[in-house]
Amino acid sequence: MNDLVRQHTALSDSDLEWLHLLVSEWQLLSDLSFADLVLWVPTLDGTRYVSVAQMRPNTGPTSYQDDMVGHLVPRGRRPMLDSALDEGRIVREGDPEWREEVPVRVESIPVRREGRVLGVIARNTNLLTVRTPSRLELTYLQSASDLAQMIAAGSFPFPGQQVDMDASPRAGDGLIRLDADGVVQYASPNALSAYHRLGLAADLVGHHLGQATAELAPARGPVDEALVKLASGWAPREFEVEGEDGVIQLRAIPLKPKGTHIGSLVLLRDVTELRRRERELITKDATIREIHHRVKNNLQTVAALLRLQSRRMDSEQGREALNEAVRRVGSIAIVHETLSQNLDERVEFDEIADRVLAMVAEIAPGAVATRRTGRFGILDAEVATPLSMVLTEILQNALEHAFVPGDQGTVEVGAVRGGSRTEPRLLVTVQDNGRGLPEGFDPHRAGNLGLQIVRTLVEGELGGKFDMLPGAERGTQVILDIPVRAEKH
């Protein structure tokens, strides 16, 4: 819609924002009208209309099989659009149109903002299945007529009240029509069922909805007065009411078709099961985070015990082996600490890589600096845990073997997300400017424990590729190519 409005019309950004607000709400008008809606806006030169948005009803058959967005029609071809735009009134005159052997009733509703008509909504009703309307359908149509008059007057939608239609109740979920005093004139079967779930034993019609709702909710002192007012529909609000056996979500829409408050629409939905599942998920998330926290604490305890044991070792070789084990355990603990703070099993690995760098840098001889370039991004826990160990081993190997005490140098970790959308990959490089590889060294056959761990984790657990090559000028470069899951933005 943004592109069409800016390309073809003279509307300002604030006008465009109003149209977005309208489009976020007009599924309700479409459902209550049993009709398709198409928003037409006059072009910059005033000779044509461009359709910038379209909505089909969930409550009836569509009048348009094709997508109308982007169509241009000259002024004069659809006289009712011209009348609604020029006169600023709802136009219903004319006989039904026939489209592919289907009779369609066409109406035009001007869209007004601050006294100006920005465009026209064409409301098109498929008459093929028209029958004697029920009380529900009559209430729908009367409510649609009131909303249409409010749109034409510029009093609907409500500024600052943009609604997420995916999360808000819809007409089919449950609808209650109130009079100006908040007394129920009509309640749909779904609405009545939702209130029965809260504990209502009688019918709603004839009762004050605010008072009835407050009586069903647990007593909360002054909150009851606010609930009474909210459920009476005096202001456009969305709220929830929780009883002993259920939870319902309500949305109040004041009706002021001629500037005077004549009543309200209350849309509602039974969200009891949804809230129950949400609470279960919150409990499970908290349990998973607590497990990661305890695993991290246990790993830190193991690392402390190994560190204590290394201090009692007389053998320098044994002491160093235990210190390497401490760092390996520590790299896993870092991942679990990060997971204990997240809501899912994915982690921002850049933070973990930086902490691994800082931990391994403690063994760096002389003035060797470590740094990271690029971005690892968000990784699954099943990738992050072995990758943190691999990174620890490679860095530890570089700092121990590439430099001698007194050397100045750098060890740089680089990360690049690549591959394709269907097969994303992570390319990790660890480059040092140290002494380089010994003559005839084969990283795929070297027998030291660190490289065995790297090969096993990269090729076996991560399903990636590992290589160790001489640097472009000096030193050594280690390359990891690992398949990952795409990031969610």
Q: What predicted TM-score, i.e. pTM, was given to this entire model?
A: 0.65
Predicted local distance difference test score (pLDDT) of residue 109: 97
Q: Quote the mean pLDDT of the chain.
A: 87
Q: Among 15-29, 315-329, 371-385, which range has the highest average pLDDT?
A: 15-29
Helices (H), 205-342: 209-216, 223-231, 272-311, 316-339
pLDDT of residue 223: 52
Whether the pLDDT of residue 404 is over 90: the answer is no
Here the tokens at position 78 are 């659809």
Cβ(136)–Cβ(55) below 8 Å: no
| Residue 366's pLDDT band (cuts 50, 70, 90) | low
**233, 185 in Cβ contact below 8 A?**
no
pLDDT at 64 over 90: no
Which residues lie closer than 8 Å to 50 by C-beta, 6 or more apart? 4, 8, 9, 40, 41, 43, 70, 71, 72
- Which residues are within 8 A (CB) of 216 and not within 5 positions of it... i.e. 6 or more apart? 195, 198, 199, 200, 241, 243
In the chain, % of residues over pLDDT 90: 44
Q: Over 60: is that where the pLDDT of 337 sits?
A: yes
Q: What is the pLDDT of residue 343?
A: 64
